[in-house]
Amino acid sequence: MKKLITNTFIIIAILVSTIACKNETKNETDATNAKEVATPEAQATTYTVDTDASMIMWKGSKPAGTHTGTINLQSGSVQVAGDEVTGSFVIDMSSITNTDLEGDSKANLEAHLKGTAEGKEDHFFNVAEHPTASFEVTGVTEDAGVKMMQGNLTIKGITKNIEFPVSYAINGDMMTLDSKTFTIDRTQWGIEFMSKSILDDLKDGFISDDMEITISLKAKKA
Using CA atoms, how far residue 41 sits from 29, 80, 86, 215, in Å, is 27, 8, 9, 24
Q: What is the pLDDT of residue 90?
A: 98
pLDDT-derived band at 198 (thresholds 50, 70, 90) equals confident
Lowest mean pLDDT among 110-119, 165-174, 192-201: 192-201
| Closest C-alpha to 94, from 110, 106, 78, 117 | 110
Q: Does residue 15 lie in a domain region? A: no
Mean per-residue pLDDT, 146-154: 97
Q: What percent of the chain has pLDDT over 90?
A: 80
Instruction: Give residue-wise pLDDT tens across range 36-56.
Output: 999 999 999 999 999 999 999
Mean per-residue pLDDT, 192-217: 87
pLDDT-derived band at 202 (thresholds 50, 70, 90) equals low
| pTM beyond 0.95 | no
Burial status of residue 55 (CB atoms within 10 A of its CB: 0-12, 13-18, 19 or more): middle
Q: Does residue 38 lie in a domain region? A: yes
Output 8 or 191, whichever has higher pLDDT.
191
Q: Does residue 14 lie in a domain region? A: no
Q: What is the pLDDT of residue 173?
A: 97
Q: Does residue 1 lie in a domain region? A: no
Residue 169: CATH number of its domain: 2.40.128.110
> How, if at all, do strands 182-185 and 45-49 pair?
unpaired
Range of the structural domain that residue 123 is part of: 26-221
Q: What percent of the chain has pLDDT over 70?
A: 87
Average pLDDT, the chain: 89
CA gap 145, 165 in Å, rounded: 10
Count of C-beta atoms within a 10 Å radius of residue 200: 7
Q: What is the pLDDT of residue 3?
A: 46
Q: Does residue 20 lie in a domain region? A: no
Q: Does residue 9 lie in a domain region? A: no
| Closest C-alpha to 152, from 210, 80, 81, 89 | 89
Mean per-residue pLDDT, 154-163: 98
pLDDT-derived band at 204 (thresholds 50, 70, 90) equals confident
Q: Does residue 18 lie in a domain region? A: no
Q: Does residue 207 lie in a domain region? A: yes
Instruction: Give residue-wise pLDDT tens across range 97-130.
Output: 999 999 999 999 999 999 999 999 999 999 999 9
Q: What secondary structure, in 3-state letters, does the chain show? A: CHHHHHHHHHHHHHHHHHHHHHHCCCCECCCECCCCCCCCCCCCEEEEECCCCCEEEEEEEECCEEEEEEEEEEEEEEEEECCEEEEEEEEEEEEEEECCCCHHHHHHHHHHHHCCCCCCCCCCCCCCCCCEEEEEEEEEEEECCEEEEEEEEEECCEEEEEEEEEEEEEECCEEEEEECCEEEEHHHHCCCCCCCCCCCCCCCCCCCCEEEEEEEEEEEEC
Highest mean pLDDT among 2-6, 83-87, 183-187: 183-187
Mean per-residue pLDDT, 55-79: 97
pLDDT-derived band at 138 (thresholds 50, 70, 90) equals very high
Does residue 40 contact residue 79 with C-beta atoms inside 8 Å? yes
Does residue 160 contact residue 188 with C-beta atoms inside 8 Å? yes
Does 161 score more than 90 pLDDT? yes
Count of C-beta atoms within a 10 Å radius of residue 15: 10
How many separate domains does the chain show?
Answer: 1
